[in-house]
Chain A
Amino acid sequence: MPTAHLKLWRGDDTGAYQEYDVEYAEGMVILDVVHLLQATQVGDLAVRWNCKAGKCGSCSAEINGKPRLMCMTRMNTFVPGETISIAPMKTFPLIRDLVTDVKHNYGVARKMLEFAPGAPAADGDYRMQQIDIDRLQEFHKCIECFLCQDVCHVIREHPDNLNNFIGPRFILQLAQVAMHPLDTNEKSASTADHWGVDYCNITKCCTDVCPEGIHITDNAIIPMKERIVDESFDPIRAIGRKLFGKK
């Protein structure tokens, strides 16, 4: 059996990296190796996981500095004998070992615009064409691993921005409501308080790390930026606002 050499963060933010050797079997992923370590050497190793199949977004971490899901990172992608570093997501406050406090995201979720459909057709069914929802279904693939929030330098390097900027995951959710063919929210509702969308300077880091391959920047953030520009900075509308007061 091969041996993995891990450098893993232990403790809270006053903790340190510790090194471990773990024997593992062919075909394993990083999360398996972490579980083996937990079962045999470090019983109290704190790590989140649920599905182990890339569907729940619980086991986010920074592996050799890259934000990834541990369950989708196969051991055979590393050079044999290489030291593999596993660290908690840096952007969120550390609880212990690999577990971070991601509560902030759930707070943002409560403030998000809610989908409000109109009435269905007379037969009780809503009608939507597949072609009109393809892009929205892409947004719905989000597994809330929060790796996009973790990697976004607007938040990562300036945690204070969290007060004004909802981050890529939630711009995606905003777009999901704003672009829904059945949504009846006022058109401006999705852009009214800007949600800090203008903080994003389109470096596409979020898109790069998305384990679901969602085109967060191209398909959600840029269209939302365009809407905000249309709604808020259109010169004709600006004159209208001057003449008739703010809507």
Chain B
Amino acid sequence: MVDYETHEYDVIVIGAGGAGLRAAVESSATGAKTALICKSLLGKAHTVMAEGGIAAALGNVYEQDNWQVHFRDTMRGGKMLNNWRMAQIHAQEAPDRVRELEAWGALFDRTADGRILQRDFGGHRYARLAHVGDRTGLEMIRTLQQHAVHRGIDVYQECTITRLLKDGDAIAGAFGYWRETGRFVVYRAKAVILATGGLCKLFAINSNSWEGTGDGHALAAWAGADMIDMEFVQFHPTGMVWPLSVRGILVTEGVRGDGGTLRNRDQEQFMFNYIPPMFAAETADTIEEADRWYTDKVNARRTPNLLPRDEVARAINSEVKAGRGSPHGGVFLDIASRRDADYIQRRLPSMYHQFKQLADVDITKDAMEVGPTAHYAMGGVRVDAETTATTVPGLFAAGEVAGGMHGSNRLGGNSLSDLLVFGRRAGLYAAEYANAMPNLPGLNGTDVDTAAEEATAPFDNTGRENPYSIHHDMQDSMQELVGIIRKEDELGEARERLQSFRERSRHLRVDGNRQFNPGWHLSLDLRTMLTVADLITQGATLRKESRGGHTRDDYPGPDTHFGTVNIVQRWTPDGAVAREEPLPQMPHELAALFEGDSHADSAS
């Protein structure tokens, strides 16, 4: 018999970033007994790293902006693969979610008439991102955190969930361990909300914290939920590249939104050479027009520096490959020669601080060196657009762990708004589901025993494999073979290597005991990462085209057939099983917004 403590709730929320906090607030407000469980301390989730802002068509800077324009930008940014209904709900509800955050204490930068200021960002037609300098994520998480703790929500910090528990087909709770003591804990719950964020710790160069190990993706897959669009991983075009120790750390798109431009070794503004047909009609093709656009959005077209992230990341990759990169294998991002020092320090204080302290670069005087970094998973758990319900009864998902909203590529700023819009909906509908249920689902003791056994298994091994080395090797393999540019034979090799990592991970050696032991924690995270790596690699193999965050060297253009389907995966004891499903069709009045567009299918 395993020793564990038990807690009972109507709704538990796993993950305490923006989506988890917002979900917990909403669930608790319905009267549902709600718990929030997080892997780190409260307020440290990866949301804290978000820099640029929250995309919402408030229309404070350009009154022409509205939800239809935001919806259109989002769909086009995702190369039309998005779940249209999610993109619509997101665009419609984001402004209210931002205003609500302000009423809870967030202090956004202001317009001259005292309203919330909005900034330019890639792929957004109008200045749309509500922001606080370049530390918007910190503002958002702290505001939600302070609001949540005053609602009396129970918070379980530094507690990692390793398995979801079910009663028959439906969700029944979750199993996990306390990081501090290594002791086990069972949460019995009527509904579970996954808000675990992303998975980019799979890649060697990434912008994520230690938590981004795809826990929620794997937990849902193991519980039998449908996964969608897993092949789409966003490589943010601008991560730091030097010094090596900071490689991957994010440089906000706000640098380009506020006037910065990308240059190659020859000082050429190379983005003008990479304007795809899909965006040609609304993108400036001369430096003069692009520079004028910053102050005249009516008569000038937007700078190609602010094309969607997938386009910019591919362009940087091409420049570096062609030998026109910067000394440390990136390109230059220059705002120093384009804006005065006061402006830069006021608009981008964290970037100034980050480069000064970590790289010895004064961004008001010198150009930054930047390159692509694994940043965000577009794919995730398949959810119902209205309710965020997954295909497992009682299991809901919101934020990065959920798939569909962003299609094949997410626009900057659409993540924070996604967290708020669908975090709230997850809380609301999970609570509705739970409140309609008279009793807690049953607890299957055998499942708890199994979960406990697999959690302690790394201590029982007799092998000599170091979990840190396996993780390191897996990151290199994913980066090299399933990274920005992919092809058939390399994906095949990636699958073989994943098999060897799985084999090695059966022979781990873990030092020490169960008390706050990162080596043990990582050995458990390896299980989630290997599962998620399988899903991504399989999806990437099946999608024989290039679109958004998925670029195939052997299929360089978009494909008409693949432009009409999502790849849906389900986990089985023998691994992932995939199928194609047609995209949901949007109603005429929304489809009309795209009339006359050059579609992704015909774009090169």
- B-contacting residues of A (Cβ < 8 Å)? 25-29, 32, 38-40, 42-58, 72, 74, 95-97, 99, 101-103, 106, 109-110, 112, 114-115, 117, 120, 124-130, 133, 136-137, 140-144, 173, 176-177, 180
A136: which B residues are within 8 A, CB to CB? 107
Contact B114 A56 (CB under 8 A): no
Interface CB pairs A-B, < 8 A, 19 = A25-B245, A42-B511, A43-B467, A43-B519, A44-B518, A49-B210, A50-B44, A50-B46, A51-B209, A53-B49, A53-B358, A54-B353, A58-B41, A103-B157, A125-B116, A128-B107, A133-B110, A140-B132, A142-B142
**B517 interface contact, C-beta 8 A:** yes
B266, chain A: closest CB distance, angstroms: 26
**B306 interface contact, C-beta 8 A:** no
Query: Count of chain B residues with Cβ under 8 Å from any Cβ of A?
Result: 68
Contact A29 B358 (CB under 8 A): yes
B210: which A residues are within 8 A, CB to CB? 49-50
Say which residue of A28, A45, A72, A125 sits within 8 Å of B243 (CB atoms).
A28
- A-contacting residues of B (Cβ < 8 Å)? 40-46, 48-49, 60, 99, 102-105, 107, 109-110, 113-116, 132-133, 135, 137-139, 142, 145-146, 149-150, 155, 157, 180, 209-211, 242-246, 249-250, 350, 353-354, 357-359, 466-469, 472, 509-513, 515-520
- Whether A110 contacts B518 in the complex (CB less than 8 A), given A25-B244, A27-B246, comes out as no
Say which residue of B40, B139, B467, B510 sits within 8 Å of A140 (CB atoms).
B139
Contact A56 B150 (CB under 8 A): no
Contact B358 A129 (CB under 8 A): no
Closest residue on chain B to residue A123 by CB atoms? B115
- Whether A106 contacts B44 in the complex (CB less than 8 A), given A95-B180, A124-B99, A128-B114, comes out as no
Contact A137 B132 (CB under 8 A): yes
A63, chain B: closest CB distance, angstroms: 14
- Whether A44 contacts B519 in the complex (CB less than 8 A), given A39-B468, A124-B99, A141-B135, comes out as yes
A117: which B residues are within 8 A, CB to CB? 103, 105
**Complex formed: what's the CA distance from A45 to B466 in Å?**
14
Closest residue on chain A to residue B243 by CB atoms? A27
- Whether A27 contacts B242 in the complex (CB less than 8 A), given A48-B40, A51-B48, A125-B116, comes out as yes
B217, chain A: closest CB distance, angstroms: 19
A129: which B residues are within 8 A, CB to CB? 110, 114
A48: which B residues are within 8 A, CB to CB? 40-41
B180: which A residues are within 8 A, CB to CB? 95, 99, 101
B515: which A residues are within 8 A, CB to CB? 46, 95-96
A96, chain B: closest CB distance, angstroms: 5
Say which residue of B105, B243, B466 sits within 8 Å of A43 (CB atoms).
B466
B244: which A residues are within 8 A, CB to CB? 25-28
Contact A38 B146 (CB under 8 A): no
**Complex formed: what's the CA distance from A56 to B170 in Å?**
36
Contact A126 B107 (CB under 8 A): no
Contact A114 B245 (CB under 8 A): no
Contact A127 B114 (CB under 8 A): yes
A74: which B residues are within 8 A, CB to CB? 357-358
A58: which B residues are within 8 A, CB to CB? 40-41, 44
A142, chain B: closest CB distance, angstroms: 8
B116: which A residues are within 8 A, CB to CB? 125
**Complex formed: what's the CA distance from A90 to B511 in Å?**
26
Contact A140 B142 (CB under 8 A): yes
List 6 tightest A-B contacts by C-beta distance, closest first: A27-B243, A44-B512, A43-B519, A127-B114, A39-B468, A50-B209
Contact B468 A32 (CB under 8 A): no
**Complex formed: what's the CA distance from A129 to B112 in Å?**
7
B519: which A residues are within 8 A, CB to CB? 38, 43-44
Say which residue of B113, B145, B510 sits within 8 Å of A44 (CB atoms).
B510
B518: which A residues are within 8 A, CB to CB? 38, 43-47
Give the one of A32, A52, A53, A109 with max B CB within 10 A: A53
**Complex formed: what's the CA distance from A74 to B357 in Å?**
8
Contact B107 A133 (CB under 8 A): yes
A141, chain B: closest CB distance, angstroms: 7
Closest residue on chain A to residue B147 by CB atoms? A114
A29-B245, A43-B519, A126-B115 are known; give 6 further A-B pairs, CB within 8 A.
Answer: A38-B468, A54-B353, A55-B48, A56-B48, A58-B41, A128-B114
- Whether A72 contacts B138 in the complex (CB less than 8 A), given A53-B246, A58-B44, A115-B105, comes out as no
A55: which B residues are within 8 A, CB to CB? 48-49, 135, 137-138, 350
Say which residue of B49, B99, B157, B509 sits within 8 Å of A51 (CB atoms).
B49
